[in-house]
Amino acid sequence: MNRVIPIIFLFFSFVYADLELQDWSGAKVDEVYPRKYDIYKMACEQDNEEACFILGLSDLQSYTQNNNDKIYLKSAIGYFEKACAKNHEKSCLALGLLYISASFEGRDEKASMYYLDRSCSLGNVLSCINIAKYYEDEKHLDIQKTIKYLESACDKKNDEACAYAAILYHDGKKVEADHQKAISFYKRSIAINKAAPSNYLNIFEINLVEDKAFDKTIEKSFLKLFAKDKQSMMFYDMLKIFQNAKLNKRYNLTLWNKKYKNMNLNEWDFGTIEKWIADTKDSKIKDELSKIVDGFKNLNKENR
């Protein structure tokens, strides 16, 4: 059971360190209370949700420091439940993570989903993402719920949730591919965090397989931000080679390899491009594109 507690503290230890309730009497804490814990207990009894949450964290810490004494665990759960009932999002998240842990003997997936959903609805992004991951797992697969909770996290300005929802629609492995939805989510991710090159590159790939020019606004932003980022430019130039080949324009794979010598394409999944090539009607261009894919894959092997 030890493993579950550190998981929760990864999320909340920073909160515990930074929070301190004020003593309503105006006296110094040490002059009135023998322990800071007593302040939080008094505040919790007067329905201060943050105080109940901190008490729950403190009891979890005592649980790990006292040979897993279940009295502390029961107390922690009680404090979290009281705060969660008062719509304290982090307390609901703590309960959700506790009940989903494989090492917790009281594991209850239904209870976990209830608390995580409650926390998510209260605005906690981590809860939304944890539910999304739960429903993406093969044992509980419900991809529509996965997307629902990712979108909820995206609405709360989490760029990674936006990007992941985009990827699901982009690759079409778990949900029917929808490039327009994918682009919409990629753009939402970019609006929140401009510093992730993969969002721009994935939009360019969609432009490529739809036989369209790269989005000029996105391309301008990408080049402004990442022109000196060799890794990002390697992928960009790769996509440009495919685009030129499809349009019967000149390209130079040898020059690309020389420019990016000793680098590799390990991060790139050619699945979308290979499907695009398979759907290409012109047999001559199709063969050319296939050779280019093989060329990139071979160069990738050589550079490993």
Q: What is the pLDDT of residues 223-253, one digit of tens each?
A: 999 999 999 999 999 999 999 999 999 999 8
Q: What is the pLDDT of residues 103-120, one digit of tens each?
A: 788 899 999 999 999 999
Q: Are 197 and 230 in contact (CB under 8 A)?
A: no
pTM of the model: 0.83
- The structure tokens 């920073």 sit at 14
In the chain, which residues have pLDDT < 70? Answer: 1-35, 300-304
pLDDT for 304 equals 56
pLDDT for 15 equals 37
Quick one: tokens of 277? Answer: 């090539």
pLDDT for 37 equals 81
Amino acid at 161: A
* All domains in the chain, ordered by first residue: 1-119 (1.25.40)
Q: Are 89 and 122 in contact (CB under 8 A)?
A: yes
122: left (phi over 0), alpha (psi -120 to 50) or beta: alpha
- Of 238, 239, 201, nearest in space to 218 by CA: 201
pLDDT for 297 equals 85
Report the alpha-carbon distance of residue 124 to residue 118 in Å, rounded.
9
Report the alpha-carbon distance of residue 130 to residue 90 in Å, rounded.
13
pLDDT for 267 equals 80
